[in-house]
A and B are shown apart, each in its own frame.
Chain A
Amino acid sequence: MASNTTATTQAHGGAADHGGAFPPFDSTHFASQLLWLAITFGLLYLLMSRVALPRVGRILENRAARIAGDLEAAKAAQAQAQAAQVAHEKTLAEARAKAQELGQEAHRSLAAATEAKRKALESDLNAKLAAADAKISETKAKAMANVDSIATDAAGAIVEQLTGRKVDAGAIASAVAGALKA
């Protein structure tokens, strides 16, 4: 073996200071070292390639698949939540619009009812006003008629007092009517 010759030639230089050969270059143990290295490393390689590494690879793969699956599920759940939120917002907007509509409707009907009531009241009041006016004018006319008779009576009484004689009622009435007309 080429390595043996190079190793042993170097060994003589290294071994000069120490009694035996410099241990790392001492070829007496090379055979047993190589043998045991072959056994242990061979077994290690077999165990690693057949058992350990496929197992670790499987573990890592499983974990990656699990993480990917979980992420997928989380993404789906998030989409679902977003859809639910959108639906919720839509319902909310609809309800709000409906409420507004309802409110306005109520407001409108209330206003209409108030208006109708007001109109009825107004017309009622107008009617009452008109009735009162009619009564006033009637009373006025009656009063005016009374004024004629009062004036005639008063004129007759005054003339009777002044002149001391009775005057014809018809003459007084025409005279009063003429004075009042003037």
Chain B
Amino acid sequence: MAAPAQAIDPIHQFNIERLLHLNVGGLDASFTNASLFMVIIFLAVTALMVLGTSGAHVVPTRVQAAAEMAYEFVASTVRDTIGKEGMRFFPFVFSLFMFVLFANLIGLIPGAYTVTSQIVVTFAFAALVIGTVIVYGLMKHGAHFLHLFVPSGVSPILLPFIVLIEIISFVSRPISLSVRLFANMLAGHITLKVFGGFVAMLLGAGAYAILSPLPLIAITLLTAFELLVAFLQAYVFAILTCVYLNDAIHPGH
């Protein structure tokens, strides 16, 4: 094979490499390539939202218009899903959406690391969302929050099953929320890499090199599709966060 095995291996792109060995109180706190891209995401979002709006122009510049669009997009999502009371969670949902969106988009740049392709990252976000739902729900409504699991107007015979189903659905939320994003990113990047590998392999396979444009076209189309997925998954993550937070604010069906 002409290309080195590492370049063809579709899993290699998810490897984490320590760039800086750090150890805080016995815990591994190394600065890795994933950490580097987390910092890049943070800087990119900050550049857009803080530096881009520093002029506070009445007639916005391009960057400020983009920042305003992001603001209004997430604000309308929160308002439509939760209502006016939900605006207290707007900074949280916004940060989540922007972080995930930028992670997904930056991950599409060749050679970049996709932070959201790590289950631990997406699960941390999902756990944060569900944790917020539980803590806020119990704080705001106390025991009434548990009515979330007891829908009104159900016959007493069915009630135990319904409660069981509600609890299972609640528990599966963080899993589905994290796995959906993680799996989409992982699968998309593996697919891109596999087709990229096809191009390299065909080029190195003599007469078959004539076929190599086919996977190249496929990558081009897939990249466009992955751009859509990158945005869509960030949006899905944000809107599901809103739906779950809505349960914390308005428990009981």
Q: Which residues of A contact B71 (CB under 8 A)?
A: 53, 56-57, 60
B39 touches A59 (CB 8 A): no
Give B15-62 interface residues, CB cut-off 8 Å to A. 15-16, 22, 24, 27-32, 34-35, 38-39, 41-42, 45-46, 49-50, 53, 56-58, 60
Instruction: Out of A39, A45, A60, name the residue touching B92 (CB < 8 Å).
Output: A45
CB pair A43–B186 under 8 Å, yes or no, is: no
Any A CB within 8 A of the CB of B139: no
Query: Which of A21-29, A132-140, A173-181 is the contact stretch?
Result: A21-29
Q: Is B216 an interface residue (CB 8 A)?
A: no
Q: Which residue of B lies closest to A43 (CB)?
A: B42
State the majority secondary structure of interface residues on B: helix
Contact call A29/B16, Cβ cutoff below 8 A: yes
| Alpha-carbon gap, A25 to B178, bound state (A) | 13
**Contact at B53–A40, with CB atoms within 8 Å?**
no
Contact mask A48-61 → B, CB, 8 Å, 1/0? Answer: 11011101111110
On chain B, the residues within 8 Å of A23 by CB distance are 11, 14-16
| B168 CB within 8 Å of chain A | no
Which residues of chain A come closer than 8 Å to B182, judged between CB atoms? 24
**In the assembled complex, how far is the CB of residue B117 from the closest CB belonging to chain A, in whole angstroms?**
6
- B71 to chain A minimum Cβ distance, whole angstroms, is 4
A48 touches B94 (CB 8 A): yes
Interface size class of A (residues with CB under 8 A): 35 or more
Contacts of A83 in B (CB 8 A): none
B residues near A25, Cβ cutoff 8 Å: 119
Q: Are B31 and A36 in contact (CB under 8 A)?
A: yes
Chain B residues within 8 Å of A, Cβ to Cβ: 9, 11, 14-16, 22, 24, 27-32, 34-35, 38-39, 41-42, 45-46, 49-50, 53, 56-58, 60, 64, 67-68, 71-72, 90-92, 94-95, 98-99, 115, 117-121, 123-124, 127, 182, 186
